[in-house]
Structure 1
Amino acid sequence: MWHKKKFRKLNRAPEHRKALVANLVKELIDHGKVDTTVARAKESARLAERLITWAKRNDLHARRLAFAVLQDPALTEKLFTELGPKFAGRAGGYTRVVKLPPRQGDGADLARLMWVS
């Protein structure tokens, strides 16, 4: 049964899965949108929401938590200087997952993960 499952496994080992999701969130912070499969987009949205919540707190501990995920000082700075203040008045729901047509090669369900304006 699928009761009390906390996250999607994405058919990957734990460290591979964490790296995949972190890389998708890095692309989202850098470019503002990312096209991927629906399951990956939904799982990445969870981490992106958590990072924005940390960016809204804007204290040293939040910066260290965000840097531990992103591993990039420039992206961490962008998160705290641009995206945190942008969503300061919003109490959640910072991302949107929009479904796209299936991928041509294998028919996988695609989606676009983007920030809510």
Structure 2
Amino acid sequence: MRHRVAGKKLNRHAKDRKHLYRNLMIAILEHRKITTTHAKAQAIRPQIEKLITMARRVPTPQQIEAAPEAEREALVARRAEVFRRGMIELGTNKKAVHRLLEIAPEYADRPGGYVRITRVGQRKGDAAEMSVIELV
């Protein structure tokens, strides 16, 4: 029984699944829109939304410069902490973490739901249900 078991296995070992999720998250941040199977899109949605939620409260470099001298160190530390967490989630892909920190302020006023999944039909080869996952 699978009662209260979160997530999908996607017929992969844990290490392979982790790498798959990481690659999908990097692709979404880089392209803002990707086509993948519906099961993968559903599996990746909570993780990408948690990343954006974490990053949307990060101060931008302009906000850090405009802040009073006493608050700057705390703001820089907060930005560094989120950068470190992003590096843990996205591997050593600094470009993806910078991209995350660039797009996160767009969602500052949004209470959630940063990702949209749209079904687009079946794949020709194996009839897998395909979906487009995109940042709103």
- Which TM-score band applies after superposition, normalised by the shorter structure? over 0.9
Show the counterpart of 1:77: 98
Q: Distance in 2 between matches of 1:63 and 1:56?
A: 12
Deviation, structure 1 residue 47: 1.1
Residue 48, structure 1, aligned to residue 48, structure 2: yes
Root-mean-square deviation (CA, aligned residues, Å) is: 1.0
SS at match of 1:65: helix
SS at match of 2:100: helix
Q: How many aligned residue pairs are there?
A: 115
Q: Distance in 2 between matches of 1:80 and 1:40?
A: 24
1:66 to 86, 92, 96: 86
Deviation, structure 1 residue 56: 1.1
Name which one, 1 or 2, has greater alpha-carbon Rg. 2
Q: Distance in 2 between matches of 1:88 and 1:106?
A: 40
Unaligned segments of structure 1, at least 5 residues: none
> Which residue identity does 1:90 align to in structure 2?
R
Q: After the TM superposition, list the runs of 4 or more consecutive aligned residues in structure 1 that deviate by more than 4 angstroms.
A: none
Task: Between 99-108 and 70-79, report the one with greater CA deviation.
Answer: 70-79
Q: Distance in 2 between matches of 1:95 and 1:9?
A: 21
Output one character per residue of 1:58-78: Cα deviation in whole Å (capped at 9) or x when no partner.
222221111112121111111
Q: Determine if contact 1:54/1:63 at 8 Å carries over to the other structure.
A: no
Output one character per residue of 1:6-28: Cα deviation in whole Å (capped at 9) or x when no partner.
11111100010010011011000
Unaligned segments of structure 2, at least 5 residues: 59-77
Identity %: 33
Could you tell me the TM-score, scaled by structure 1's length?
0.93
SS at match of 1:17: helix
Could you tell me the TM-score, scaled by structure 2's length?
0.81
Deviation, structure 1 residue 92: 0.9
Q: Distance in 1 between matches of 2:10 and 2:24?
A: 13
